[in-house]
A and B are shown apart, each in its own frame.
Chain A
């Protein structure tokens, strides 16, 4: 097992002991990333509950933009497979969806099921000359018939209203909470007359997996803290970047067994990194290399295409420990310590 303590190579036991020592001494530890398989996210959640840490995930800005709108106004959503099978009009909102693998599939296929089956598919774009949430609001005003002065927006609104099955694709991190709410409002307005659904493109990270684990473990979304021995949900207080910047966090555990860039603030406080690939030994005080789920070890991951959790066997099994195993060993070490 590859592990480093303060930049120097260490054995597994030494690294686990050092990690436990950091966590035992901390007042307000923060666990960030959670870009891993379900078993590792569960182990991290249980360890956080054991020591009173808080949780945050890699893509939580986008996740919370979606959740905020969902909690307030609801959402009419669909899955990638449904869009490929049924949508005759697809609107790409903003820059981010254009690079999505789904768009290539949509370009290469035509609707094969439902009311639009056999017909062509039209892909449209909402370009943001003004900030994107403002452009969505203007489109919605045109779709409602309240404004008619922008011909481009009017054409988009007519295409969506005339669709058999419309779909709007967006990146919640790009659109923001207010913009997502406005877009969901547009979709709901369109459903007065035809079918239209929103599809949030959450990217390749494991935020959706973290969200599911958080929901079934604590009944809340991801940003939960266990400092008072009960799960408290507070998206502002438990924002990991804010906790680090304000100096409130005094230790961090970065869990990213899927490839992702570690945040710059990680090196600024006593920290532990559980990462795959070839880690930089200086990225944290304790660095432990773990197997990448779905590549080097097996694991349950968010499947973007199916919009669900599914097991992925290792493509090229490697003799690396799973992140969940390391987190379990850290928890066991803490249990054995008197000061934790």
Chain B
């Protein structure tokens, strides 16, 4: 297990995308401390901001998070990264596999374009969690993103594949969804704006889009499979499917093959 300990609040945003347990395990102490992580012309390296203790290739622990630590775990494909504290933007953006856990809060674009693995944020997430970066065709793309606290606006924007589970979410949750599954205990206004396909399951919601129509209640095998899939991730979300949830179909501004399930 490698351990990086943040010495003090970083003076600029740091880009940690290259730090994976596998990459660090192949380096000597001096090599690791010279890894460039700064984003200004000062050219900060890992040893300037963190004390470095190298270990095995399976796990990396970052002790002492900060909202200026960007792209943590973005290149992760195997192994585990655990951050004890907050992180900045693009947590696990584009990651392909492995397990990424943050005990604090995450900035915007957490899990953007992630194709595999599991990202867990025990605190809150910023806007566009599981969403698409500027000009990207898709947001979350196969990974599992779990936000125990509250997610900001545009949760799961343009997600194409995978699962998002959030405690609460802001406005425009599931906007422009292409496919995939998003479950939240509560979402803000205008969930599913422009969604084409995909499934959004909510306990409660703000103002609904006028372009969603109620299609009644249904007893579908799919819902029981969904509940079974959700239960190991979050029993509270699986419980949303107890009873007979109402189904809304939309967004009718597009092809309208998405569905919004509202717990009974």
Which residues of A come within 8 Å of B, CB atoms? 27-28, 51-52, 64, 67-68, 71-72, 130-131, 133-134, 136-138, 140-141, 144, 146-147, 150, 178, 181-182, 185-186, 225-229, 232-237, 248
Q: A134-B209, A248-B12 are in contact. Are A178 and B252 (CB under 8 A)?
A: no
Give Cα A235–Cα B135 distance, bound, in whole angstroms: 10
* B contact patch SS: loop
The residues of A that contact B190 with a CB separation of less than 8 Å are: 131, 134
Interface residues of B in 7-39 (CB under 8 A from A): 11-13, 36, 38-39
The reply to whether A237 and B109 contact each other, CB–CB distance below 8 Å, is no
Beta-carbon contacts under 8 Å, B145-181 to A: 154, 158, 172, 175-176
Whether, in the assembled complex, B40 has its beta carbon less than 8 Å from a beta carbon of chain A, the answer is yes
B42 within 8 A of A: yes
Given contacts A27-B11, A178-B175, A181-B194, contact A137 B40 (CB under 8 A): no
Size class of the B contact interface (CB-based, 8 Å): 35 or more
Beta-carbon contact of A237 and B137 below 8 Å? no
Bound complex: CA A51 to CA B42 (Å): 10
B218 at the A interface (CB under 8 A): no
Number of A-B residue pairs, CB cutoff 8 Å, is 100
Residue of A nearest to B127 (CB): A236
| Distance of A162 Cα from B77 Cα, bound (Å) | 53
| A residues near B136, Cβ cutoff 8 Å | 72
A57 → B minimal CB distance (Å): 15
Residues of A within 8 Å of B252, CB to CB, are 141, 144, 146-147
* Residues of A close to B89: CB separation below 8 A: 236-237
- Least CB distance from B252 to A in Å reads 4
In the complex where A137-B209, A141-B211, A144-B252 touch, is A178 in contact with B193 (Cβ < 8 A)? yes
Q: A28 and B40 in contact (CB under 8 A), knowing A72-B137, A137-B209, A185-B253? A: yes
Interface residue from B42, B154, B193 paired with A137 (Cβ < 8 Å): B193
